[in-house]
A and B are shown apart, each in its own frame.
Chain A
Amino acid sequence: MAGAVTVHTNEEASKRPKHITESAPVKWLLIGIAVLFLALIVLLPLASVFVEAFKKGVGVYIDSITEPDALSALKLTLIVALIAVPVNTIFGVAAAWAISKFRFRGKNILITLIDLPFAVSPVISGLIYVLLFGAQGFLGPWLDERGIQIIFAVPGIVLATVFVTVPFVARELIPLMQAQGVQEEEAAASLGAKGWQIFWKVTLPNIKWGLLYGVILCNARAMGEFGAVSVVSGHIRGETNTLPLHIEILYNEYQFSASFAVASLLVMLAVVTLIVKSIVEWKSGQQKPVEKTV
């Protein structure tokens, strides 16, 4: 029944008999084009960040990432991620549990709704919170009376980031948990395990690598979100600037080296994300043979 399981047969697919593969020149030409395209579109921008960042020397680089505004932007970015990522992790696990372990009507609609933030332009993701909580917004006057500020303040930035990162953990977990089925959990339940016990002892060990990857991706997006946060932040230096917004301000003030220096921090975050992804893929590849014998 579990026909949706995709098995990685990476090595097998690249070992092909001669008559259904291309001749060596064609093969190397295709590889060459692919590498060149990736170099032009992906690798070159990556390299340019570091070249531009160190253009005026290491001193300027270090000053740019240790000045008070940069540090406060870094702090805000960390705070926002520290709220958005755990909240969406809990949501992702709950949603994946409901969707993968039970049957109910409208499941496909629910999955589509979880994907919705991916389909919405980042600018609109910010706009909706301005419409709700802004001075002219539906709840604006009510909040104003009580002295609560959400838009152009940290809560707005957190909300917009949470919205944008809703799907990440859920999307990683749903297909994984659907493929794993319910047998192991049912066995645990029939042996008398209680709800949370089943989750911690049976489900979590099975999904840990997928969960980790979802969390890492969610974090990368939470720290790097620009459009949505830009709408709700108000760009107050030292107060409501996240790292991406700080980069924009420096860039628009023609402080290019400083701008790229701060950007290089986020490039390192992206590289770490990709390294973790490779590790996760390798680890879950190791786990697979064990699963198959079940």
Chain B
Amino acid sequence: MKGSKSRNVLPGFGLSLGFTLFYLSIIVLIPLAAVFFKTAELSWSEFWSTVTNARVVASYRISFFTAFFAGLVNAVFGLLIAWVLVRYRFPGKKIIDSLVDLPFALPTAVAGIALTAIYAPNGWVGSLLAPLGVKVAYSPIGITIALIFIGLPFVVRTVQPVLQDMEKETEEAAVMLGAYRLRTFWKVILPELMPALLTGFALAFARGIGEYGSVVFISGNMPLKTEITPLLIMTKLEQYDYAGATAIALVMLVVSFLMLLVINLLQWRMNRRTVSD
């Protein structure tokens, strides 16, 4: 461990940090601050009545619950996929591994129309479910499916490295002490994976709350039923209600910042764990 003095040998600190701060300020921070300034133009009661309007509250509920359920589904199946990819060898594993990243690389609008085509009542999967009375597209289930698609890589890619680095010895010890495989999983493996799993869930959830492109096609956009909060902001903008749109945006921003804080705390705890190991 060398002292901080030796690091000053390298040039470019002022230039690179200065440019970084300048760029972040003009591209990210000042524009984001505009949301706060614009909202400040509203009186408190105007703000409150905008963000607690029945249609707006319904949209919070839809966005929250669909993102939450999608996060749960992804936590279960994302863990399963990470497990299969780390622990087993089977033909086509490389392709499966690449497929996991597809939602990161595929534009959201394309995902939106493709999922709608499949899950619409006349689509490949939708037509199988329609006789059973299950309506996927144009219902909250459709929104959830779109958010499962968007959030899946977050869980897999957060859990995978932790699972990979897990010591065999702990599992060996559990077996020697007479634990069955399933019990070993619940009592030894799962607790170890929990911080990573929670981080993945939180990332998928946060992304799901703000997601727009993949959802608008499949949701049907019915006020009070399948209207998500980002769409409501969009609608207000199209009606030139900038103050209203901004007030709702402020609520979403605060939620996003809180999620970011939670994720950072989780990651910090994860890192501390691996370092102390």
The residues of A with any CB-CB pair to B shorter than 8 Å are 1, 3-4, 6, 8-10, 13-16, 19-22, 27, 30-31, 33-35, 37-38, 40-46, 48-49, 52, 91, 94-95, 97-98, 101-104, 108, 110, 112-124, 127-132, 134, 136-138, 159, 162-163, 166, 182, 185-186, 189-190, 194-195, 198-199, 217, 220, 223-227, 230-231, 243-245, 247-248, 251, 256, 259-260, 263, 266-267, 269-271, 273-275, 277-278
**Are B7 and A122 in contact (CB-based, < 8 A)?**
no
Bound: A273/B32 CA distance, A: 30
Residue of A nearest to B263 (CB): A119
Q: How far is the CB of A292 from chain B (nearest CB, A)?
A: 16
On chain B, the residues within 8 Å of A247 by CB distance are 109-110, 113
Q: How far is the CB of B182 from chain A (nearest CB, A)?
A: 9
Bound: A102/B6 CA distance, A: 10
Quick one: which of B62-107 are within 8 Å of A by CB? 77, 80-81, 83-90, 92, 94, 96, 98-107
**Are A273 and B260 in contact (CB-based, < 8 A)?**
no
Contacts A38-B81, A91-B19, A217-B104; A131 near B242 (Cβ below 8 A): yes
Q: How far is the CB of B18 from chain A (nearest CB, A)?
A: 9
**Are B84 and A31 in contact (CB-based, < 8 A)?**
yes
- 14 more contacts with CB within 8 A, not counting A110-B20, A119-B260, are A3-B274, A8-B164, A9-B164, A10-B164, A13-B87, A41-B149, A48-B114, A91-B19, A127-B246, A128-B32, A131-B31, A251-B113, A266-B110, A274-B98
**Are B171 and A266 in contact (CB-based, < 8 A)?**
no
Bound: A137/B207 CA distance, A: 28
Stretch at the interface among B42-50, B51-59, B248-256: B248-256
Bound: A8/B27 CA distance, A: 36
Question: Which residue, B11, B83, B85, has most C-beta atoms of chain A within 10 A?
Answer: B11
On chain B, the residues within 8 Å of A190 by CB distance are 9
**Are B114 and A27 in contact (CB-based, < 8 A)?**
no
Contacts A42-B152, A103-B7, A116-B260; A131 near B90 (Cβ below 8 A): no
B207-243 Cβ-contact flags toward A at 8 Å (1 or 0): 1011111000100000000000111011001001010
Bound: A273/B104 CA distance, A: 10
**Are A129 and B110 in contact (CB-based, < 8 A)?**
no
On chain A, the residues within 8 Å of B19 by CB distance are 91, 94
- A sample of 11 cross-chain residue pairs with beta-carbon separation below 8 angstroms, ordered by A number, consists of A16-B87, A37-B80, A101-B10, A101-B12, A121-B211, A121-B233, A124-B230, A130-B237, A230-B213, A267-B106, A269-B107
On chain A, the residues within 8 Å of B209 by CB distance are 121
Per DSSP, are chain B's interface residues mostly helix, strand or loop, or mixed? helix
Bound: A120/B211 CA distance, A: 9
**Are B206 and A119 in contact (CB-based, < 8 A)?**
yes
Residue of A nearest to B33 (CB): A128
Bound: A114/B17 CA distance, A: 13
B194 within 8 A of A: no
B1-27 Cβ-contact flags toward A at 8 Å (1 or 0): 100101101111101110111011001
**Are B94 and A278 in contact (CB-based, < 8 A)?**
yes
B38 within 8 A of A: yes
B28 within 8 A of A: yes
